[in-house]
Amino acid sequence: MAVSIEQMSAALCLVILTLVLHPANCDVATGVIDTAGEAPHRRFEYKYSFKGPHLTQSDGSIPFWVHTGNAIPSADQIRITPSLRSQKGSVWTKNTVNFENWEAEVTFRVSGRGRTGADGLAIWFTSGQGLEGPVYGAADSWNGVGIFFDSFDNDGKKNNPAILIVGNNGNLVYDHQNDGTTQALGTCLRDFRNKPYPVRAKMTYYKKSLTVMINNGFTPDRDDFEFCAKVDNMVIPEEGFFGISAATGGLADDHDVLSFLLFRLTEPGQQQDPVEAEIPEEDKDKYREEFENFQQDLDKKKEDFQKEHPDVQGEPLNDIYETVNDREIRQVFEGQNRIHLEIKQLHRQLAMILDEQRRYVSVVTEEIAKQQAQTPPAQAQAPSLELDTVIATQQEVLKNLNELRDSFSETLRQVASVQQQGNAAGAYDSVQHFNDIKEHLHVVKRSVEHLVQRDVGPGEKVKCPDPPPMPACLSTPHFLIFAAVQSVLFIGYMMYRSQQEAAAKKFF
C-alpha cells in the first residue's frame, strides 16, 4: 500500500511537472520545421520519461520504466553499465508508445579512463521490449530503429566514436565486426566520450523523417545542438517501446543516462490533445500549488538528511578520479592563469617605473621653469658671464681640493713610513718627520684659508642661480675644518703612541 501511495505521489509530481515545465501548446524548437515554416506542437510525456534528481523510488525502481542486466538506477542517473568488463544493461518503457510523431531527448555521459572505450550505447524504438543480446547489450534482429553511439573501432578504420541510425524489420543481423557501416541509414562522426558536460541527443520522428541532433557536451548550453543525420521515409512500427542499452567488452566505459524526455509532436493546426482540455484552470493552479509544497518538502528532507549525515557526499565515486582529458584541460587552464598573473605583475612594475620617470621629468621641468622665472631681465644679458665665473670658481675649488688630497696622501705616506721605521730610526728622524708633517699641515691650512677667503670675499661674490633641491650635505668649509681637526688628532695620537713605545723599550 505504501508503494502505491508513493507511485501515486510520483505520478502526481510528474503530472505537475508536465504542467509547470511544459505548458500546453508551447512551440519549442524541435529541430524540425513544418513545410509551412511552423514548428510542430510539443507536449511532454511523463509516462515515457525519467529525469533526476529523484529518478528512483524508495525501492530502487524507476517509475514507468524497467531495468535489466547490469543497469544500476540511482537518484540522479541510471548507470546502464559500470566500467567493468563484459557488462550489459538496459532500461525500457513499461508501456508502448503509439504517437505518430515524437521527439526524444536523451542526456548521457560515456566516460572512461582509457583513450578508447567500449562498446557503446544504443537508444531504441522497437516493437518488442528489449531482451539482453549482443547489440550494445540488447537483442539482435529487432523490429524498429536503433541509434547507436559506437565507441569501439571494431573494423579498424579509425572512424569511431561514431553515431549510426540502423533500421531493422526483424530480419537483419547486426554486423558488429564492421561497426554496422553497410547497414547504417545515416551516420556521423562525433566523439561523445569524456566530455566536460553531458552529451545530449535529440531524435525527432516527424512526418516519417528521423532527424538526429547532437549537443557535444563542450558547453553548458543545453540548446547547443548540431545536425548529425537525417533519414527520410523511415518506416518504424506504429507501436513500440523506447529503450536505452549499453555494453562493455575488453575495454569498459561507464554509460550513464541522466535523463530521457519524450515529447509528443502534433502538426500545427491539428486538434489539440483532449487531455489538455480536460484539466480546468483551477485544477492546474491546485496541482501547481501541490507541486510547490511537494518540492519544498523534498528540499527540507534533503537538508535534514545532509545535517544528519554530514560525511555522506552526493557526488558519485566517479568524480573523485580525473580523466586524462580533464587533467589536460585543467593544466592548460592553470598554465594560462599563471601567465596571466605574470603579465599582470609586469604591467604593475612597468606602471611604477613610468610613474617615477614622470615624476623626475616634472621636477626637472619645474626647476627649469623656476630658474627662468627667477632670472631678472636686467641680468639676462650676462648669464653666460656669471656662469663662466661660477665654473672658474668651481674649478679652482676642485684644484685646491685635489692639492689638499695630495697633501693628505703625502702625510699618510709619511705616517706609514714612520710606523715602519718606528723602532729602527732614532729620535732625530722622528722629529724630522714630524717637522715635515707640520710643514704640510701649514700648506693645508694656507689652502683652506685661501679657499675661505675666496668664498667670502665681498668683491668676488657672484650671485648663482638656485641649484635644484639637493639632499642636505656637508658644506666645503665645514668639511675642511673637520678634516684638519681629524688630522691633528690622528697625528697627536701617533706621536703619543711612538713615545709610549719608546718608553716601553727602555724597560727591556
**Where along the sequence are the contacts to Ca ion (CB under 5 A)?**
150, 152-155, 157, 159-160, 179
Beta carbon nearer to Ca ion, 46 or 152:
152
| Minimum separation from the CB atom of position 136 to Ca ion (A) | 9
| Chain centroid offset of residue 123 CA | 36
Helix, strand, or coil here: 296?
helix
Beta carbon nearer to Ca ion, 150 or 253:
150
| Minimum separation from the CB atom of position 68 to Ca ion (A) | 22
| Minimum separation from the CB atom of position 180 to Ca ion (A) | 8
Contact in structure between 252 and 81 (CB atoms under 8 Å): yes
| Minimum separation from the CB atom of position 248 to Ca ion (A) | 12
Q: Which three cell numbers stand for residue 431?
A: 722629529
- Rounded CA gap, 259 and 197, in Å? 14
| Minimum separation from the CB atom of position 173 to Ca ion (A) | 15
Q: Which helix (H) or strand (E) holds 217?
A: none
Contact in structure between 192 and 217 (CB atoms under 8 Å): yes
Beta carbon nearer to Ca ion, 108 or 152:
152
Contact in structure between 126 and 292 (CB atoms under 8 Å): no
Strands 65-69, 162-169: pairing is unpaired
| Minimum separation from the CB atom of position 87 to Ca ion (A) | 16
Give residue number: closest CB to Ca ion. 179
Beta carbon nearer to Ca ion, 157 or 445:
157
Q: Quick one: 99 exposed, middle or buried, by C-beta within 10 A (0-12, 13-18, 19+)?
A: middle
Beta carbon nearer to Ca ion, 189 or 350:
189
Contact in structure between 22 and 46 (CB atoms under 8 Å): no
| Minimum separation from the CB atom of position 204 to Ca ion (A) | 25
Beta carbon nearer to Ca ion, 157 or 497:
157
Q: Which of 329, 316, 260 is nearest to 67 (CA)?
A: 260
Q: Which three cell numbers stand for residue 348?
A: 604593475
Beta carbon nearer to Ca ion, 160 or 498:
160
The contacts of residue 386 (CB under 8 Å, 6+ apart) are 379, 462, 463, 464
Beta carbon nearer to Ca ion, 178 or 296:
178
* 471: preceding bond cis by omega (within 30 degrees): no
Q: What's the 3-state SS for 108-161? A: EEEECCCCCCCCEEEEEEECCCCCEEEECCECCCCEEEEEEEECCCCCCCCCCC
- Rounded CA gap, 389 and 383, in Å? 10
| Minimum separation from the CB atom of position 159 to Ca ion (A) | 5
Beta carbon nearer to Ca ion, 160 or 168:
160
Beta carbon nearer to Ca ion, 178 or 453:
178
Contact in structure between 97 and 48 (CB atoms under 8 Å): yes
